[in-house]
Structure 1
Amino acid sequence: MKNRIKECRTGRGLSRTDLADLAGFSHDIVRKWENGERNITVTSAEKLATALHVDPAYLVGWTTKQPMIGHGAVVYLNDREESYVDLSYMGVSDKNFIHGTDNYGRIVHIPVSSVLYVVENNDQ
């Protein structure tokens, strides 16, 4: 688990302080989780996954699959899983936007701040 938190955090270009602020935790607790010095609760893992825009199952180690840039993905928005964008192609131009092509061929740009998490679409 500790490696997944750090991997996802650094992959988004975030410092521990950035992640702590986004998820509503202290810098110290994020450090302890990353270093395996303290166990994380399910609720805290969900908050971290939301802040990191990853599937909670990936963050806690229930799956080894992570959405891959350049492949299809489902981008869940806000805090409701009923609201999503199904992308046939996904890319990241900077840490503020996910861009891609939806299944109708339209180009979309999704602000990272509106993303709950991203799940690879195996149908592509």
Structure 2
Amino acid sequence: MIGERIRELRKERGLTLQALGETCGLSVQQVHRLERGHRRLTVAMLEQICDGLQVDMFTVVRGTEKVPVLGVLDHEFLVHPLPPNSEVTVPAPFLGVDPRRLGAYRWQPRTRIANMMGQRIYFRRDVEGIDPAAWGHRSIITLADGTQRMGWLIRQDEHVHIGQTQGISELDVEPVWASKVLGVLPPDQTW
């Protein structure tokens, strides 16, 4: 996806593969492979390409798609419906997933973790059941009673628990769906 964005920016500026390569100090083949997603982009290469395109890094790595905001997350890590007049979409960053498969929640804590206010939590919304990647990672979890929360899915002695930073917070739960959190971005980030 980042490769597609590089190609788009290169063409907007009327640059050929060769011209961008020469400007960046990369070969035509390297630029071509980056654009096609056949070469891994290193931070050094990203800096070179940004210099060559005369753009900042965020211009290259931010997505142009929008992601639906599906709810808000409170200080207890519980998901609630969006309040009236809330922003219903946010920009999609490149997270290695097709943005049309992403969803987002917005933090709205009241007490502890108030510094997280407005941050966006991104996850895959197209997951069926429990994503194997969710185990042991911060995830969005739906329990059998339909409630959703964020936490770590922990399997222990044939029981499932939900953990938080300070330890296990819910014992012996029955998750029916879970998707690993792919990224958290601050509200003022112009992705």
Q: TM-score, normalised by structure 2?
A: 0.32
Q: State the structure with more CA Rg.
A: 2
Quick check: which one's strand share is greater? 2
Quick check: which one's helix share is greater? 1
